[in-house]
Amino acid sequence: MFVTDSSLNQTNKPEKKRFVILISGLGSNMQQIAQLANDFSSRVSIQAVVSNKASAAGLDWAAERGIETAVVDHRLFSDREKFDQALARVVVKFEPDYVLLAGFMRILTPGFVNQFKGRLINIHPSLLPAFPGLHTHARAIEAGVQRHGCSVHFVTDELDHGPVIAQAALEVSTTETPEQLAQRVLVLEHQLYPEVVQWLSRDQVTLDDNGKVTLHGVSYRHIGTSE
């Protein structure tokens, strides 16, 4: 008797999910995610890395590894809508199942967000809903919070908001600088984002019409310091 696994294609390799990653800089999170694709059993396929900055270091890193790259320079467009429309045209060419924002430092228009609704994911360096926006680590220290961390979430119209998929947290030391805290949180980001991408690639994350996230076959949503 032959048992068939519908998740396997004719070559007995797992069906892969297609990801496009948007970056603006170093792309260290993108690099961690891209490494997932190297695993034979992985269901993660990176279709392209796209940046709004030609100087983004992550573009070179990706190109050196044979990942397709593209640049849509926001300075060449008269307004956000036109830039986002051009960006969307590039992204859809790669037919992504998911679009991952990984240090993509542009505010996206509702038009772009709606086009990729339920498929647009971001990582933000705070325990959302606390500290959306910039300078999260300095603001966390300034506010005297005991725990800080990062969140991976579905993107909505509101900046750094949207249904949280998972978070990673650590204890804030009373003596550390924002730069030291940022470095420690970045280590957590490099664990959390690839983990969530694995879940997405295996259809383990669903988002309902009320914005509720459900994880299937995953028993935890937090990494690091417990409640």
Residues that bind ligand GAR (CB under 6 A): 23, 25-29, 102-103, 123-125, 150, 160, 186, 189
Residue 129, preceding peptide bond in cis (omega within 30° of 0): yes
Q: How far is the CB of 23 from ligand GAR (least distance, A)?
A: 6
In the complex with ligand GAR, the residue whose CB is nearer, 14 or 132, is: 132
Q: Which residue has the CB atom at the shortest distance from ligand GAR?
A: 103
In the complex with ligand GAR, the residue whose CB is nearer, 21 or 91, is: 21
In the complex with ligand GAR, the residue whose CB is nearer, 4 or 167, is: 167
Q: Distances in Å between the alpha carbon of 114 and those of 77, 101, 108, 126, 158?
A: 20, 15, 10, 24, 12
Which position among 74, 124, 148, 161 bears the catalytic label?
Answer: 124
In the complex with ligand GAR, the residue whose CB is nearer, 125 or 224, is: 125
Q: How far is the CB of 123 from ligand GAR (least distance, A)?
A: 5
Q: How far is the CB of 4 from ligand GAR (least distance, A)?
A: 39
Q: How far is the CB of 171 from ligand GAR (least distance, A)?
A: 19
Q: How far is the CB of 142 from ligand GAR (least distance, A)?
A: 17
CA distance 162 to 171: 24
135 given a catalytic annotation:
no
In the complex with ligand GAR, the residue whose CB is nearer, 84 or 160, is: 160
Long-range contacts of residues 139-142, Cβ cutoff 8 Å, at least 24 apart = 140/172, 140/181, 141/172, 141/176, 141/177, 141/178, 141/181
Q: Among all residues, which ones are annotated catalytic?
A: 124
